[in-house]
Amino acid sequence: MNFIDNAMLTVINPATGDVLQEIPTDDSEAIAHKVTQAKVAQPDWAARPMAERIEIIRQFNGLLADHAESLAQQLTAEMGKPIKQARAEVGTTSSRIGYFLDQVEAVLATETLLHDSQLGLKEQISHEPLGVIANISAWNYPFFVGSNVFIPALLAGNAVLYKPSEFAALTGRAIAQLMTEAGVPEGIFQAVIGTGQVGAELLTHPLNGVFFTGSYATGCKIAIAAAPHLMKVQLELGGKDPIYVAEDVDVATVAPAVADGAFYNTGQSCCAVERIYVHDQIYEAFVDTFMATVRDFQMGDPTDENTYIGPLARAAQVDFLKYQVEDAIAKGAKLLCGGDRLERPGSFFAPTVLIDVDHSMSVMRDESFGPIIGIQAVKDDAEALRLMQDTPYGLTAGVYTPNETRATAMLRQINSGTVYWNCCDRVSPRLPWSGRGHSGIGLTLSTYGIQTFTQPKAWHLREG
């Protein structure tokens, strides 16, 4: 008996509202079967020499490059990412995978901490895979956020049940297809297709870990669902990332850079700039230059090479952004542009800038995840710092000033996993990506983001 009423997932193009495809979802029986297959196949995968797993993932990376254009077009069609940005995502994923391929052997090599020949005693740490893990993923950067998990997890010897977002399901299926073509053995990487209900069903099985990327609200549900199995839980969640612009910056370069940080990917980045605080000495100049940049953003058909802002991937988010605008205006904010959906098919929300905002307003407190930003004037660094920290989230925060001492003094006090000096909306494979507070627990990327898919085994070896 299936638990899912609607056995098909309807994939809609958010730029037109047209149905792209109907694809079958996984029911309870299919999910149980995939879990069993993964459990059966995982020990052999883990027992293979690391060099073999590396070679297979290298093949996958090659296939990703071979199919880059069609994958980018598919991503644009199903989630509305402007085509140039879709190509950039697919292209950059290859270099991230390259980082993992270069690092994994050294990071997971057995370490000898003590070798005492007199006592005949050795102490070592080996890194064993967790086993079978669920990777429940978001739609906004499906190649990035997916591969940050499934590539190191596979290299470390785990089997992965990959549940792509229902808003990036075609991409998820294509990734699974390329894994098979690359030689990943049956059962080791399987896409599990469907809505959140399918993700919830997956977590009724006793797995060895769940690695989740998505919202705080769903992250809490994931942690609760995982608790009875005591599986490892890692949550990469949302943010309300602040930027402070001090009075000593070059406004002409900083304002456009911060606007890009707020509006790239139509504002749908976990590390998008979500709040801007500007020193009151340059507030007006900053807002003028910022507005000039925003007015130049081309919005529309995401398949057009010149489009910078596309539709929202989730139609329902349009109403939430509208609510944030109305709430802000009712509490005294001034709307400088946008503020409403575009009267055309698809889920387009006009790039929106609000000034005279404060922390009583949802737009300065709740993750917007769209092309909308509030800019607030502050009198000094202390006020900026206090407002930046007035949030339960802790993903990223940035300070713009030529004065490194001033910036780092502020950034040291901020409780977030990532801090930026004179940059924003940036992720590096070499650095750990982690959130604090409502932005999550655990991390991906860097060498730590390889080890996280393993469990250490302590060896006490005494010669007999």
Would you count residue 270 as binding ligand NAD (CB under 6 A)?
Answer: yes
Smaller CB distance to ligand NAD: residue 283 or 349? 349
Would you count residue 244 as binding ligand NAD (CB under 6 A)?
Answer: no
- Judged by CB under 6 A, the residue of 136, 160, 182, 262 near ligand NAD is 136
Number of residues that bind ligand NAD (CB under 6 A): 31
Would you count residue 137 as binding ligand NAD (CB under 6 A)?
Answer: yes
Would you count residue 145 as binding ligand NAD (CB under 6 A)?
Answer: yes
CB 290 within 8 A of CB 282: no
- Judged by CB under 6 A, the residue of 138, 156, 176, 294 near ligand NAD is 138
Judged by CB under 6 A, which stretch of 54-62, 97-105, 118-126, 236-244 contacts ligand NAD? 236-244
Smaller CB distance to ligand NAD: residue 155 or 169? 169
In whole angstroms, the minimum distance from the beta carbon of 50 to ligand NAD comes to 27
Would you count residue 211 as binding ligand NAD (CB under 6 A)?
Answer: no
Would you count residue 218 as binding ligand NAD (CB under 6 A)?
Answer: yes
- Judged by CB under 6 A, the residue of 166, 274, 301, 381 near ligand NAD is 166
Would you count residue 425 as binding ligand NAD (CB under 6 A)?
Answer: no
Would you count residue 435 as binding ligand NAD (CB under 6 A)?
Answer: yes
| Residue 364 DSSP code | G
Give which of 295, 264, 236, 267 is closest to 374, Cα–Cα.
Answer: 267
Would you count residue 9 as binding ligand NAD (CB under 6 A)?
Answer: no
DSSP readout, 292-315? Answer: HHHHH--BS-TTSTT--B---SST
In whole angstroms, the minimum distance from the beta carbon of 45 to ligand NAD comes to 24
| CA distances, 12 to each of 21, 165, 212 (Å) | 7, 13, 24
Taking CB atoms within 8 Å and a gap of at least 24, the contacts of 441-445 are 441/233, 441/234, 441/235, 442/211, 442/233, 442/234, 442/235, 442/236, 443/234, 443/417, 444/148, 444/149, 444/152, 444/211, 444/234, 444/236, 445/96, 445/148
Instruction: Give the count of beta carbons closer than 10 Å to the beta carbon of residue 225.
Output: 19
| CA distances, 426 to each of 184, 275, 412, 418 (Å) | 31, 16, 18, 9
Element containing residue 138 per DSSP (H, E): none
Would you count residue 140 as binding ligand NAD (CB under 6 A)?
Answer: yes
Three-state secondary structure call for residue 159: strand
- Judged by CB under 6 A, the residue of 139, 162, 211, 348 near ligand NAD is 139
List the catalytic residues. 236, 270
Copy the structure tokens of residue 440. Answer: 């999550």
| Residue linked to tokens 């003590």 | 114
Judged by CB under 6 A, which stretch of 71-79, 88-96, 191-199, 246-254 contacts ligand NAD? 191-199
Three-state secondary structure call for residue 323: helix
Judged by CB under 6 A, which stretch of 62-70, 161-169, 240-248, 300-308 contacts ligand NAD? 161-169
| CA distances, 19 to each of 7, 109, 122, 346, 448 (Å) | 16, 48, 62, 11, 41
Would you count residue 241 as binding ligand NAD (CB under 6 A)?
Answer: no
In whole angstroms, the minimum distance from the beta carbon of 337 to ligand NAD comes to 24
Footprint of ligand NAD (CB under 6 A): 136-140, 145, 163, 165-166, 195-196, 199-200, 203, 213-215, 218, 221-222, 236-239, 270, 367, 369, 395, 433, 435, 440
